[in-house]
Structure 1
Amino acid sequence: MCVYSDVVVPPEEFVLARTLRAHPRLRIELERAVLVDTEPSPYLWIANADGETIEATIASEPAVKHVESVDRVDDELLVRVRWRYRDIGVLRTLVDTNATCLKCVGTHDAWHLSLRFQSSSALAEWYQRCTNDDRNMAIQNIRTGACSPDRHLASNLSDPQREAIYTALERGYFSVPRKITLQELADALGVSDTAASQRLRRGLRVLLVDVLSGVPTDGEVPFSTVSVQ
C-alpha cells in the first residue's frame, strides 16, 4: 500500500539554497510532468524572478549541471535544470528509494515536499538514510491509502491558478451578471489583468480536461505527478 508524507526541508539540505537565500521573494514550484530522462531534469516555475539574474544565480549552484530559460508568463519564469543529483543528499535518497514527488514548492526558508512511497518500509528506509546522514528535515504527517487523500481535480492546478479561480468564484466573477471586472480581480490577486486572465484560462482548461477526459487537447496540460526516479 502506498504511503504519503508531507516534508519540510531547509534549502541547504535540498536544492537551490544559494538562489533562494539570495532572492527572498522567490517562490519556486516544480512543474507537474512525467520524467522521461535517465536523470532528474525538472522544469521549474519561478515567481518574482528577474530572468537573467536568476538564471545566472541558478547556474552558479554547485549541484547544477545546466540551466536554460524556456518561457516567461508575466511574473513567472519557466526554466529547465539538470542536476548533479548525487551531490544532493535528500534528492539522492529519494531517487534511491524510488519515491515520487507529487508537489514541491520552495521559498527562501524551506522546501515543502509532498511525497509518495511504494510502502511504509520504503518511507522508513528513506527516513533512516536521511537520519544516518544527519539531514535536517521535518516530517509533518504520514498517510496511507491506495491513492492520495489530496487527489482531486484542484490538485492538478498550480497554486497561482488555484488562487485565481477560487478568488474569482468567491468574489462573483463567474456570476451573471458579474460582480467584479477582470481588472478588479487582477487587483485582488496583485497581478496584471493579462496575468489574471491567463491563470483563469489555463486553470479552467486543466479542470475541463480532467472532467471531459475524452475531449482531445493540444497536449499543453501537464500530468499531475513528477517522478524523481
Structure 2
Amino acid sequence: MSFIAEFAFSSPIMRATRQDVPGVTITVEDEQPDRTGESKLIVWATGTEDDLERFFRTLPTDPSVTAFEILSTLSERRLCRVTLSDDGERGLTYVDAIDVGITFLDIESSGSETRYRAQVPNRDALSQYRERCAERGLSFDLRRLYRIEADETEQYGLTSRQRDVLRRALDAGYFEVPREISTEELADEFDISSQALSALLRRGHRAILRSAFSDPESEYRDADR
C-alpha cells in the first residue's frame, strides 16, 4: 500500500514568465536532469494564442531559462524543450524525489504556483522530500494525502500516461523487428510530438528496468547515476 500526495510549492522554473502571463498553464511531459548543468524540461504550454505569443516573447528574459525550443505547435498549445539556468535547477526536484522513492504523476504550473500529484511509498519518504525542498529554499504546501492499493502498474513505478503509451506501442507492433508502426504514427495517436512520445517511452522503460534489476533496498539509491 502506498499514498498519493497532492502538494504545491513556488518553483523558480519559468516563474517570472508565468507570473507575467498567468493565463498560460505549463504541464510537464518529461524532466531530464543533467549533472553537468544542462538540465532540460519538455513541457506543454496551454493558453490562448495571444497569451502564448506573449509567453514565448517573455521567456528569453526569464532568469530560470538559458534556452528554449518549440517542438510542436497546435491550436492553443505548444510543446517546447526548456534548458534551465542555475536558478531554474533549484526547482528541479526530480532526483530528490527518486532518491526517496517518490514518483511524480502530474506536474502543472500557472501564475506563481506549481502543483504536483505524486505516488509516495510512505509518510517518511514524503517528510524527507519536504526537507529537501526546504534545503533548496522551496516552500512546501501539502494539499491532500490519501492511501491507494498497490497494483501492477504502481509496482513498476509507471505513470498512467507511460502505461497507456507502452501498452499501445506493444499492441501496435512498435517493438517488432521491423516495426509495424512508426514513432510519428504512434505520436499522432496521442496527439503529441515524436519527441514527447520518445520521452514517455524512455521513462517507462527506465521504470520497468529499475524494478526488474533492483532490489527494494537499492531501487532508488542508484537512480540516475
> Do Structure 1 and Structure 2 share a fold, with TM-score over 0.5?
yes
User: Cα distance 1:208–1:112, how it changes in 2: closer, same or farther (>3 A)?
Assistant: closer
- The answer to whether residue 138 in structure 2 is matched with residue 135 in structure 1 is yes
Among 23, 26, 35, the alignment partner of 1:25 is 23
Amino acid in the other structure paired with 2:182: D
Inter-partner Cα distance in structure 2 for 1:116 and 1:207? 17
Q: Structure 1 residue 80: deviation in Å?
A: 0.5
SS of the aligned residue for 1:42 comes to strand
CA deviation after TM superposition for structure 1 residue 144, in Å? 5.6
Does 2:120 correspond to 1:156?
A: no
Instruction: Report how many aligned residue pairs link the two structures.
Output: 175
| Alpha-carbon shift at residue 127 of structure 1 (Å) | 0.8
Q: How many Å apart are 1:55 and its aligned residue? A: 2.5
Name structure 1 gaps, 5 residues minimum: 158-205
Match of 1:106 in 2: 109
Q: CA deviation at 1:15?
A: 1.5
Q: Over residues 41-64 of structure 1, what are the superposed CA-to-partner deviations in whole Å (9 max), with x where a residue is unaligned? A: 121111125555422422222121
Distance in 2, Cα, partners of 1:43 & 1:132 = 25
Structure 1 85/139 Cα, relative in aligned 2: closer, same or farther at 3 Å? farther
Matches within 5 A, 1:9-158: 9-10=9-10, 13-31=11-29, 33=30, 35=32, 40-48=39-47, 49-50=49-50, 53-84=54-85, 87-91=88-92, 93-98=93-98, 99-117=102-120, 120-131=123-134, 135-142=138-145, 143=147, 146=150, 155-156=160-161
- Higher-Rg member (1/2): 1
Pair 1:129–1:144, CA change in 2 (3 A): farther
Corresponding residue SS for 2:127: helix
CA distance in 2, matches of 1:46, 1:75: 8
SS in 1 for 2:105: strand
Give, in whole Å, the separation in 1 of the partners of 2:169 and 2:69: 34
SS at match of 2:40: coil
Distance 1:58 1:71, change over 3 A: same
Question: 1:95 deviation in Å?
Answer: 2.3
Distance 1:111 1:97, change over 3 A: closer
Q: Which residue of 2 aligns with 1:5?
A: 5
Unaligned ranges ≥5, structure 2? 174-180, 191-196, 208-222
User: Normalising by structure 1, what TM-score?
Assistant: 0.58
Conserved in 2, the CA contact under 8 Å of 1:55 and 1:69? no
Q: Which residue of 2 aligns with 1:218?
A: 182
Partners in 1 of 2:168 and 2:72 — Cα distance? 28
Q: What is the Cα-based RMSD across aligned positions, in Å?
A: 4.0
Aligned partners of 1:76 and 1:116: how far apart in 2?
27
Q: Distance in 1 between matches of 2:170 and 2:64?
A: 39
Q: 5 Å matches for 1:161-172?
A: none
**Secondary structure class of the residue paired with 1:77:** strand
